[in-house]
Amino acid sequence: MSNQTTIKGDVSFNQSNNVTAIVKLWEANDKEAIGEHIISPEAKGKFTIKATPKAKDTVLYITAELQNSKVVLLSVLSPNFEKDITEKGIAVNELTTVASAFTCAQFFNGLQLTGNLHGIRIAAKNTPNLINPVTGSYGEVLTDPFNITQNETLARLNTLAALITAYGTVEIEGYNWKENFLKYTTPLGGKKPQNTAEAMIGVAQSPWLHPADLFHLFDKAYPSPENGFPAKPNSKVPTSRRNAPFVPYLSFAPEDFAMILAFGQGGICAPGKLSLDKEGNLWTGLNWMPGAQNGVYQGIGGGLVKLDSTGKLLSPPVTGYTGMGVDGAGWGTAVTKDGTCWVTSFNGSIGVYKLEDGSPVVENVPEHIAEALNEIGGLQGIGVAPNGDIWIVGTSSNIMLHFPDGDLAKGRVVVNEKLNETLSAPFAASIDANNRVWISNTNGVSLVRYAPSEKNRPVERFILAGGGRGVALDSKGNCWVACNTSPDFPHTTTTDGVSIIEGFALGYPHLQQTVGRKNKTGSVFMIPADAKPIDTIDKITHKSNLTPYGDGELNAPWGVSIDGNDDVWVANFMGRGISFMAGASPTGRTEDFATGEVIHTIHSGSIQMLTDVVVDQAGNLWCANNWNLPQTVMEAKPDPAYSTWGGGSGVVVVYGIAKPAQTPLTGPVSAV
């Protein structure tokens, strides 16, 4: 769209093209409209705008301001639909407004789409998953079997679209409906909306803020018929339907209005760790192969899966990318800046694959590494350092592997007696800007900080809680660690020296104990970048001086990620949800909250037992459905009807809810 472009389209409101409106064509990162058309009543909603965008590979969008109202409709043009839009035109209505507002929420300032163009393009490409920009009706992903009956997204979208309609059509005597609508669509820490498009952007930026109030407005605008009375005047046909313009709608207030979709085409079973490349493609290793009867007593290992930034499968179905002996990837998937994706396996193998086609970089790892791997056993987390080094945790053997510059040939087992003594079924690793390696431990209650480049290579230990899992570094170098259990949770069965799968079999029953606060267990700790350990290898204590954030609200937290505002997102394994926490120095929309405060937890029928959550360059959250039906996982011979339900189904996206972050992630997070 770098040369002159012609955009044709149709504007409709309240399911009618009888509109009078000022239609404007905008370009991302431009304060002024680049084209305009006034729709007269005789035009039946049709418009044509010719304009010349200033930037190459830009994102265009349409606003339509209806006459004599503050109803403004919105439609962001997806780069993936450029040909269809050029040939068939663009639709602008209430549904396109909601979809555009949610996918592009983090880039709207008022009605100006502004920010990192690559992130904006990723956001715009996702809009058609919700609403087709040409037809103005539901997108294919929204209506596929994974979503239409498994979550509230369609009903949420329709309910919000109906509120836009109501703003321009409903008058309720003695009730200031419009003023309340603008009040309850104001985002956290943001400005009061001036029109319906800004209102939907406000909801998208803080979808948890006023869900009950917004549903109350829907109820007032479209009251439910009482005692079977007809919804339409002069009708003699009893009905229980509200007279709302879009169906299905919500029947009761949601926990939030987050827009959530699941992706699983081609078979995505039990994704463990998620990693994003610079183009926004999602990579994940699968614990088990889709379609198999998987569990801790039997199963077929999965391969490496690649989805594009819109959730479209790019890797081979069922098997995914394979090679280099990887057979069942655990929580070890990491994209590097040099164009590779590293994967670790339950069987102790390491795979390194090319990002362009998923092929292995070599047929086999170097001989000296292969010999070491034969002795080491199962591997888990992978840490990518800012300098390109790769660190891998040897969960079954309590060791670390180091690959300087990400070179397989330079790989070695780290020889450090103090380090080995402090590792206890290590799980994840993250490397800070000072090349210090932060390592979580599944067993015990500690996190280890290892400084290989410092004098004497100090090994320091911080006491947390049991079941250490995900490790993430914010932009200041503070380390956030998810622990499956709370500090007062009984010690679980040790899994040192056993296979990773056997470790799951031993550990899961303990997580089922309802002895935590509110019958939940789990906590997240923040270790300041300059923190001093309270113990050393020579002096051990089992009491932490750090705050267990989220205790009583989280439930077996697993993966943890930091967004571009340094706020924290946590994947709850037992809790089947995504928790939003204020970061180390709350600013912006979190400035009224305390560090570590749980602001909201997102649930959905599409969200299963999560092991990871990551933030992309558009502010979308991508989440790993790792387990689905625990009894299938834990039984030697599960019910045949559910024998393929052990591993979780697909990955889940929550649109536009987080502050965008740079990908791939190497070391501390950085904002887009």
Does residue 664 have a cis peptide bond before it, meaning omega lies within 30 degrees of 0? yes
What mean pLDDT is predicted for residues 254-282?
96
The string of pLDDT tens digits covering residues 532-564 is: 886 544 455 567 889 999 999 999 999 999 999
Residue 398 Cα distances to 172, 285, 377, 576, 630, angstroms: 67, 22, 10, 29, 27
Alpha helices (runs of H) in 132-210, residue ranges in sequence order: 153-169, 177-184, 196-205
Does 171 or 524 have the greater pLDDT score? 524
DSSP-assigned letter for residue 260: E
Provide φ and ψ at 641, rounded to 5°. -65, -25
DSSP-assigned letter for residue 561: E
* pTM of the predicted structure, to 2 decimals: 0.95
Q: Are strands 90-92 and 5-11 parallel, antiparallel or unpaired?
A: parallel
Q: Under a CB-based contact definition with an 8 Å cutoff, are residues 356 and 376 in contact?
A: no
The pLDDT, as a whole number, for residue 351 is: 97
Q: Under a CB-based contact definition with an 8 Å cutoff, are residues 77 and 133 in contact?
A: yes
The pLDDT, as a whole number, for residue 82 is: 85
pLDDT exceeds 60 at position 231 = no
Does 533 or 78 have the greater pLDDT score? 78
Domains 5-130 and 260-654 equal at CATH topology level: no
Angle at Cα 174 formed by Cα 172 and Cα 175, nearest 5°? Answer: 60
Distance CA 596, CA 590 (A): 11
Q: pLDDT confidence of 227, banded at 50, 70, 90? A: low
The string of pLDDT tens digits covering residues 292-336 is: 999 988 899 999 999 999 999 999 999 999 999 999 999 999 999
The string of pLDDT tens digits covering residues 612-635 is: 999 999 999 999 999 999 999 999
pLDDT exceeds 70 at position 97 = yes
Distance CA 385, CA 405 (A): 9
The pLDDT, as a whole number, for residue 527 is: 97
pLDDT exceeds 60 at position 122 = yes
Q: pLDDT confidence of 493, banded at 50, 70, 90? A: low
DSSP-assigned letter for residue 410: G
DSSP-assigned letter for residue 520: -
DSSP-assigned letter for residue 431: E
pLDDT exceeds 70 at position 180 = yes
Domain 260-654 CATH (choose: 2.60.40.10, 1.20.1600.10, 2.130.10.10, 3.80.30.20): 2.130.10.10
Q: Under a CB-based contact definition with an 8 Å cutoff, are residues 645 and 410 in contact?
A: no
- Domain residue limits, the chain: 5-130, 260-654
Q: pLDDT confidence of 517, banded at 50, 70, 90? A: low
pLDDT exceeds 50 at position 401 = yes
Distance CA 60, CA 476 (A): 35
Q: Are strands 577-581 and 609-615 parallel, antiparallel or unpaired?
A: unpaired
The string of pLDDT tens digits covering residues 411-446 is: 999 999 999 999 999 999 999 999 999 999 999 899
Strand partners, 73: 64
The secondary structure element, H or E, covering residue 101 is helix 94-103
Provide φ and ψ at 121, rounded to 5°. -65, -40
* First CA to last CA distance, the chain: 24
The pLDDT, as a whole number, for residue 538 is: 44
Residues with Cβ < 8 Å from 191, sequence gap 6 or more? 110
Q: Is the dihedral of CA 343, 344, 346, 347 positive or negative?
A: positive
Distance CA 154, CA 151 (A): 8
Half-sphere exposure of 242 (CA within 13 A, CB side): 20
Q: Which CATH superfamily, name and number, covers 5-130?
A: Carboxypeptidase-like, regulatory domain (2.60.40.1120)
